[in-house]
Amino acid sequence: MSQESMIEEKNGAGSQHFHRGLLAGLPVAIGYLPIAVAFGVISRTAGVPHLAAVLMSLLVFAGASQFVAVELLAAGAAFPGIVATTFFVNLRHILMSATVSRKLPDLSRSWLAVLAFGITDESFSLLSTDRRSRLSGYYVLGVIILPYLAWVTGSLVGVMLGGQLPEILESSMEIALYAMFLGLIVPEITSSSSRFKIALIALLLSSISYWNPLFDVSEGWRITLSTATAAFLGTVIFSGDDYDE
Amino acid sequence: MMNSYIILLLGMALVTYLPRMLPLVILSEIELPPFWKRFMLYIPSAALSALIFPGILQATDSVFAALVGGLAAVLLAYFKFSLLTVVTASILTVFLYQLLF
């Protein structure tokens, strides 16, 4: 454990950070619930053993790839192919983990190895847009724990009950994660004109890869390539004109 | 049957965990050159943008419900409401929209 986290633990600041993290992670947990229930239901329909579906949420904890895996299982795909697809769908986490690492310079390797399990599109969004330049390990732990519990519990509920939440409620709740992304991007791009332009470039690239009639781009690659290209172009174009931080 | 699933799940867990863990552990110890530091600062805006669009259009049963919910989120975020308020209000907006239209 690093020096800072030991000091935190001594004076109780650790638990304060942890509680703040729990609160920050709450919107993510709310957003995960309906998706996790849907995952459980789909796994059940696809004939995946109940235990395997819940274990997948417990061990993998990555929504997009889990849906793809169940789809492939239902289609009778071979296991090595499913593992390979999972790898490619989740490659975007490299970019996200790398970005989050800038905020965690004080943590020991074992701390980081634990927290890494909780890096998702959503926790990355919360952590990387945080105004503080350094984050406490306890805070990050708090951020990831409720979403993880919601993900596993929701999957269990979906697998056990098989039924849906009322259609209208489920459909409304699925806006939650997008609302959160919007809630995070608005302060980012209104405080800096270069970030605003970079967001526009990413939007354009994402739309092109989604709608172009020439080639199919999977969701994972669409997000990874649009993000990396837009950020790279931004770094080249806006060399230091508003290096706010 | 379950045994072969265990192997699949462990394989999936491993290939998901490594891309999350390696950059976090390796890069947190490295001082990056200024160019890449700035690149990292620009990642969140770019990533959020790609995560939102065009995915949001399919978030609910109708494109219009999703757009109305998204608009509610943008407005509340612009006026600096908390993230929890933004999310709850957006869910409610979509719920009401679907109830009425």
In chain B, what are the domain boundaries?
31-100
- Interacting residues of A189 by C-beta distance below 8 A, sequence separation 6+: A195, A196, A199, B45
A chain contacts of residue B37, beta-carbon cutoff 8 Å: 102
Select from A26, A242, A188 the least CA-distant residue to B49.
A188
Distance (Å, rounded) from C-alpha A166 to C-alpha A237? 49
Beta-carbon separation of A97 and B20 below 8 A? yes
Distance (Å, rounded) from C-alpha B56 to C-alpha B69? 10
Residues A117, A208 within the same domain: no
Beta-carbon separation of A65 and B91 below 8 A? no
- Count A/B contacts: CB-CB distance under 8 Å: 291
Is residue A90 included in any domain, yes or no? yes
How much is the pLDDT for A168?
A: 83
Query: Which candidate in B26, B67, B87 is best for mutational testing of the A interface (most A CBs within 10 A)?
Result: B87
Residues A238, A152 within the same domain: no
Residue A2's pLDDT band, with cuts at 50, 70 and 90, is: low
How much is the pLDDT for A80?
A: 94
- Interacting residues of A122 by C-beta distance below 8 A, sequence separation 6+: A28, A31, A32, A147, A177, A180
- Interacting residues of B2 by C-beta distance below 8 A, sequence separation 6+: A49, A51, A52
Instruction: Please compute the mean of the pLDDT values over residues A194-220 and round it to a whole number.
Output: 94
ipTM of the complex in this document: 0.95
A chain contacts of residue B43, beta-carbon cutoff 8 Å: 95-96, 99, 128, 227, 231
Three-state DSSP at B66 gives: helix
Residues A210, A126 within the same domain: no
Q: Which of B40, B53, B77 has the CB atom closest to A203's CB atom?
A: B53
pLDDT, tens only, B29-62: 888 999 999 999 999 999 999 999 999 999 888 9
| Boundary (domain end) residue, out of A173, A205, A227 | A173
Beta-carbon separation of B69 and A207 below 8 A? no
Q: Please name the residue of chain B whose CA is at the shortest distance from the CA of residue A173.
A: B91
Instruction: Please compute the mean of the pLDDT values over residues A142-158 and round it to a whole number.
Output: 97
Residues A54, A85 within the same domain: yes
Count of domains observed in chain A: 2
DSSP B57: G
How much is the pLDDT for A245?
A: 44
Residues A165, A207 within the same domain: no
Distance (Å, rounded) from C-alpha A189 to C-alpha B65? 24
Beta-carbon separation of A171 and B69 below 8 A? no
How much is the pLDDT for A242?
A: 52
Residue A243: pLDDT over 70: no
Residues A43, A89 within the same domain: yes
Residue B2: pLDDT over 90: no
pLDDT, tens only, A77-86: 999 999 999 9
Instruction: Please compute the mean of the pLDDT values over residues A103-132 and round it to a whole number.
Output: 96
How much is the pLDDT for A9?
A: 54
Mean pLDDT (chain A) is 91
How much is the pLDDT for A189?
A: 96
Query: Which candidate in A182, A186, A210, A242 is best for mutational testing of the B interface (most B CBs within 10 A)?
Result: A182
Q: Please name the residue of chain A whose CA is at the shortest distance from the CA of residue B45.
A: A199
Beta-carbon separation of A190 and B87 below 8 A? no
How much is the pLDDT for A54?
A: 97
Residues A106, A78 within the same domain: yes
> By residue range, what is the domain housing residue A218?
191-245
Q: Please name the residue of chain B whose CA is at the shortest distance from the CA of residue A81.
A: B8
A chain contacts of residue B69, beta-carbon cutoff 8 Å: 172, 175, 178-179
Percent of chain A predicted with pLDDT > 70 = 92
Instruction: Please compute the mean of the pLDDT values over residues A124-132 and round it to a whole number.
Output: 96
Distance (Å, rounded) from C-alpha A162 to C-alpha A122? 26
Distance (Å, rounded) from C-alpha A140 to C-alpha A134? 11
Beta-carbon separation of B39 and A232 below 8 A? yes
Is residue A119 included in any domain, yes or no? yes
Q: By the 8 A CB rule, do A175 and B70 touch?
A: yes
Residues A169, A196 within the same domain: no
Query: Which candidate in A126, A172, A233 is best for mutational testing of the B interface (most B CBs within 10 A)?
Result: A172
- Interacting residues of A108 by C-beta distance below 8 A, sequence separation 6+: A1, A2, A5
Q: Which residue has the higher pLDDT, A217 or A162?
A: A217
Residues A167, A114 within the same domain: yes
Beta-carbon separation of B56 and A52 below 8 A? no
Q: CA A23: distance to chain centroid?
A: 17
Is residue A179 included in any domain, yes or no? no
What b/e string do you get for B49-70 counting C-beta neighbours within 10 Å, with b at 16 or more? bbbbbebbbebbbeeebbbbbb
Percent of chain A predicted with pLDDT > 90 = 79
Q: Please name the residue of chain A whose CA is at the shortest distance from the CA of residue B23.
A: A98
Distance (Å, rounded) from C-alpha B8 to C-alpha A194? 44
